[in-house]
Structure 1
Amino acid sequence: MSGDERSRLLGAAVDDALADALGEVAASVRGGRVADYIPELADADPDGFGVSIASVLGRVYGAGDVAAEFTIQSASKPFVYAFASDELGGEAVHRRVGVEPSGEPFNAISLDAQGRPENPFINAGAIVTTSLVPAADADERFARIRDALSRFAGRELDLDDEVYRSEAVTGHRNRALAGLALAVGSLATADVDSATDPYFRQCSLVVTTEDLALMGATLANGGVHPLTRDRVVSERAARDTLSVMATCGMYDRSGAWAFRVGMPAKSGVGGGIVAVRPGEFGVGVYSPPLDEAGNSLRGVAMLEALSDRFGLHMFDHTRVPTSPVGEASVDRETRTVTLALRGELDFLAAEQAVHDAGRLVLHVDARALRLDFTDVTLITAVAEQLLRTTAAAAEEAGLDVEFPGAPQGFDRGIG
């Protein structure tokens, strides 16, 4: 069997697993109500149901109505927040909007003691976040937001003009929330329309489940799109966004979501949900009927099923970590200990390597230590710090230390 055939076989297995889960949820979960407070959304097909998964390695899988188009609505909020944080820095953003769960509906009037909206995912906070995107006027602000969200999706996203006009005509509460934010000094624009008009348009961008999955995978991949390899936002902005998604993304059901599903996520009243398994993949789900909190009823059930079936909860930890030491050897004549490190070195891997190095150095009364990085594919900042500190301590104890294959500058400040 060729490599391509094996790849297609494995891809089909993932698609089949998704199809099985989707079929079970479709058969067992009924009810919900399609959003109608924005008139154009009321026309959505209540039977539409699809799911896509995109890995950080660039592979995409799906089942159901993966080609169905719908407006992104509030699932846009994490990506605008990430964009604003990357443009201005997190501190500047959080001078105007907080990060605490509100425990209230998405359209609630919710301000903290400093006069800020509680978080960037309730409507008041999202409008403030949109207002923070640097631009000369509303048109330029939306153009910049559209470009950013398109880069997250890996393709240019279209605007649904009819949904936009419907939102603009009926968006009185959102304008009131923006007016309140302006009154307390949180809004970054001088007038309400400069913030709300781009906000209505960002919510009216058209996506599919595959788009949402790739957008989520970009956050999972530290801000780098897994297909285009475009760095859309910084690693810090991606991390901060996932943190707020984990605690605030599902409105007043965020606690139950964290307990049952355990993945950072954000829903939209168009029926979409984007969820993220950090470092692994993004998930996009679509089903228009909503629960009482404004989240897709079957979308929530689908992600609960995937989390339970495939062990995706962020607090699941059933895997035994692979040793970061591919081979450990001792040259008895020179009393040199060599550790051949391998794979991805994070805190746990570096801690294990340090432990092994210390044990062997003491066991043979070593004179030299070699940390061989030739087969290392990635090293995190904390792992590099641990290994540098270990190397410095070894030199201070009188050992000769070498680092074949080490990252450039690894030996700076050692010796």
Structure 2
Amino acid sequence: MAELVQRYLDRIRETHADVTEGALADYIPELSRVDPNGFGLSVSSSDGFIYESGDAGTLFTIQSISKPFTYALALDQVGASAVDAKIGVEPSGEAFNEISVDPVTKIPKNPMINAGAIAAVSLIPATSPDERFAMIQDFYSGFAGRRLELDHEVYASERATGSRNRAIGYMLQSFGVLDDDPDEVLDVYYRQCSLLVNSTDLARMAVTLARGGINPQTGRRITDPSVVKRALAVMVTCGMYDAAGDWVSAVGMPAKSGVGGGIVAALPGQLGIGVYSPRLDDKGNSVRGVRVCQSLSEQLGLHFLTVSRDSRATLRAVYRPRDNIRVYEAHGDLLFSGAEQVVRTVARDRGNFDVAILDVSRVDDIDDAARSLLADMAAGLRAEGKAGYLVDPDRIVLDVDIGSEQVRYSRVDDAVSAAVEWLGRGFSR
């Protein structure tokens, strides 16, 4: 039944597939040569299950999406005090490549603009540029769950056209922000921006942030929760450049964009999103990427101010009162990401039962996206000749048909009795 969620994502992506607004980044020559029509969407649940739609396997360079991850690595390696001494956390109100520092502190205003990102690279402790880049590459790869490789053509193109970044680097050196050779720091910065990812990599990197630094695919802890908290906080306020306020209001997830066309978004405790579409708006953000994320947030209830509980806690228990009956007890908030896990758990078990009983008597809240998923799950059960019963004493699920009949119960025991009776009739309707 993962196809239920898959249809949601396909429909949302297809809604925006005809959008042709925006333009390719042209200040890096290699980026102006990509296919402008590429469009991929990937979503990772908190347990690492991946949904992919469209061009999810298309590789592109990570560009500025690298910034929160290098910032996290700096925090991980040298600590918050050392990082705060060199990089602020305030929104800049300026273009991402502005040649400026905070007028009072004389340090970059935040790590999401180029000045702050270059400073973050310089904080990674290493004895050579190659060692520094290797640490960054390994760190990113841990988040993605696979080895990320360098696009040598884009790297050469960035290095050849990086006059503005060189100006930023030497400005930072003049204010004492960079202790190392600016050209060596910039060389590592160009390389980190030229690492190849696809939208699924971004979804995995995002869900590793959402899980507090644990990659659910590999089970590895990549960094500490305190580091993730700082990185996500700055992504909320500064990750989408001058459009950060609009993004937080309309989408409401910590996120970072890149001029390669990618967007990474993490909903803490819930899921990770990766989008790829290379046409950019005047702020440097993917036009279709922003729109698809807004649709996901609106239709699936993903704004972080509406989500209070970790989706991994949605299923309280699963048990068998009889061999061919399964009871699924949900609790807490049954929102989209929690309902997705309920549906996928039922789908995984469906070869082992004839009747499913969903107990929502301990659920505090449920949204329309979750109700719709439950209705689609019920239709799938009926299509396979199975039955479903709902234990819903407070009627929070309202009129969703969870089984073969519009029936609901106040106690699990009553639902089990009805299921046994249904089975005794030889599955007759």
Same fold by TM-score, threshold 0.5 exceeded? yes
Per the alignment, residue 132 of structure 1 pairs with 123
Per the alignment, residue 200 of structure 2 pairs with 210
Per the alignment, residue 7 of structure 2 pairs with 16
Per the alignment, residue 230 of structure 1 pairs with 220
Per the alignment, residue 243 of structure 1 pairs with 233
Distance 1:118 1:287 in 2: 28
The one of 272, 295, 301 aligned to 1:305: 295
Out of 155-164 and 50-59, give the one that drifted further. 50-59
The one of 67, 80, 83 aligned to 2:70: 80
Per the alignment, residue 143 of structure 2 pairs with 152
Distance 1:109 1:171 in 2: 13
Report the residue type matching 1:103 in the other structure: G
The equivalences for 1:5-404 within 5 A come to 9=1, 11-27=2-18, 29-112=19-102, 113-189=104-180, 191-316=181-306
Distance 1:194 1:13, change over 3 A: same
Distance 1:42 1:84 in 2: 31
Distance 1:56 1:110 in 2: 39
Identity of matched residues, %: 51
Distance 1:104 1:91 in 2: 25
Distance 1:206 1:175 in 2: 23
Secondary structure of the 1:48 match is coil
Check whether the contact 2:99–2:167 (CA below 8 A) recurs between aligned residues.
no
Distance 1:216 1:238 in 2: 11
RMSD value over aligned CA atoms?
Answer: 2.2
CA shift at 1:314, angstroms? Answer: 1.2
Report the residue type matching 1:33 in the other structure: A
Distance 1:308 1:142 in 2: 38
Distance 1:196 1:318, change over 3 A: closer
Distance 1:318 1:121, change over 3 A: closer
Deviations 1:97-138 (A, max 9, x none): 000000111101231211110000100000000110001111
Distance 1:228 1:185 in 2: 40
Per the alignment, residue 401 of structure 2 pairs with none
Secondary structure of the 2:53 match is strand
CA shift at 1:91, angstroms? Answer: 1.4
Check whether the contact 1:138–1:193 (CA below 8 A) recurs between aligned residues.
no
Distance 1:77 1:169 in 2: 21
Secondary structure of the 2:273 match is strand
Secondary structure of the 2:44 match is strand
Deviations 1:385-414 (A, max 9, x none): xxxxxxxxxxxxxxxxxxxxxxxxxxxxxx
Check whether the contact 2:100–2:168 (CA below 8 A) recurs between aligned residues.
no
Distance 1:142 1:104 in 2: 28
CA shift at 1:16, angstroms? Answer: 1.1
Check whether the contact 2:77–2:124 (CA below 8 A) recurs between aligned residues.
yes
Per the alignment, residue 382 of structure 1 pairs with none
CA shift at 1:188, angstroms? Answer: 3.6
Distance 1:239 1:318, change over 3 A: closer
Distance 1:58 1:224 in 2: 10
Secondary structure of the 1:117 match is coil
Distance 2:167 2:285 in 1: 23
CA shift at 1:274, angstroms? Answer: 0.2
Check whether the contact 1:131–1:194 (CA below 8 A) recurs between aligned residues.
no
Check whether the contact 2:100–2:108 (CA below 8 A) recurs between aligned residues.
yes
CA shift at 1:317, angstroms? Answer: 5.2
Check whether the contact 1:55–1:226 (CA below 8 A) recurs between aligned residues.
no
Check whether the contact 1:97–1:116 (CA below 8 A) recurs between aligned residues.
yes
CA shift at 1:192, angstroms? Answer: 0.6
Deviations 1:320-339 (A, max 9, x none): x9x99x9xxxxxxxxxxxxx
Secondary structure of the 1:285 match is strand
CA shift at 1:318, angstroms? Answer: 9.1
